[in-house]
């Protein structure tokens, strides 16, 4: 199931052991190489270490009360897991990134994203169009399969594939045949005008 990333901002992190709130999520730690969330940075007065992180692998359940973990032992410091430390130090933020197509034309800026709650992989990015292009639709979604490249400054997406076709020949309306008509229709000459 897909969720907006906003659902996981300022979400309580609850201890199954004590039944109390340990902290709240503040920002997602995103791996820019595969657009997955590897951890959440936490805020709260009960934290021993600043910054403290909650690995996605340590979330036991997400429910109406928030993210549920076994105990406070699940909360880690930045240096506790080498892979997470590397990603944390990149300080990658998806929100605000410029989105361009393969032809280097500006598409817009990222204003949000949706993710799959089961594995925390970003599935879609929400893009706001530039002002002069936003007369019809002001924002739209881009699926992860359309993303070609992710950098610190921009995201490259596939250009729309516009194919040029031959113009349609002028069709005589009298020669139109309805393929859904099963029974043959009588010709106007054979109808008896009684």
Chain segment 33-50, per-residue pLDDT in tens: 999 999 999 999 888 888
Distance CA 157, CA 175 (A): 45
Residue 125 near residue 142 (C-beta atoms within 8 A): yes
Mean pLDDT, rounded, of the chain: 83
Judged by phi (left if over 0) then psi (alpha if -120 to 50, else beta), residue 121 lies in beta
Distance CA 89, CA 62 (A): 27
Domains of the chain, earliest start first: 2-90 (3.90.50.10), 98-157 (2.30.30.240)
* For residues 103-124, average pLDDT: 91
* For residues 95-106, average pLDDT: 92
Q: What is the pLDDT of residues 145-154, one digit of tens each?
A: 999 999 989 9
Residue 113 near residue 125 (C-beta atoms within 8 A): yes
* For residues 139-163, average pLDDT: 85
Read off the pTM: 0.75
Distance CA 71, CA 58 (A): 10
Residue 142 CA neighbour count, 13 Å, CB half: 25
């Amino acid at each position: 199931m897909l969720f907006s990333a906003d659902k996981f901002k300022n979400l309580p992190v609850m201890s199954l052991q004590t039944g109390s709130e340990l902290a709240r999520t503040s920002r997602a730690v995103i791996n820019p190489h595969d657009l997955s969330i590897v951890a959440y940075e936490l805020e709260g007065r009960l934290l021993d270490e600043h910054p403290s992180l909650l690995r996605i692998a340590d979330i036991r359940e997400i429910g109406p009360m928030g993210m549920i973990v076994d105990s406070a032992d699940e909360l880690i410091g930045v240096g506790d897991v080498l892979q997470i430390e590397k990603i944390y130090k990149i300080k990658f933020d998806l929100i605000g990134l410029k989105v361009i197509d393969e032809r280097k034309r500006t598409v817009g800026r990222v204003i949000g994203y949706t993710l799959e709650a089961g594995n925390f992989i970003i599935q879609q990015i929400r893009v706001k169009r530039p002002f002069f292009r936003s007369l019809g639709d002001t924002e739209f979604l881009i699926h992860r399969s359309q993303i070609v490249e992710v950098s610190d400054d921009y995201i490259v997406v596939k250009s729309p594939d516009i194919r040029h076709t031959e113009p349609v020949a002028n069709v005589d309306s009298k020669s139109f045949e309805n393929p859904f008509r099963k029974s043959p229709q009588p010709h106007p000459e054979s109808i008896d005008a009684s």
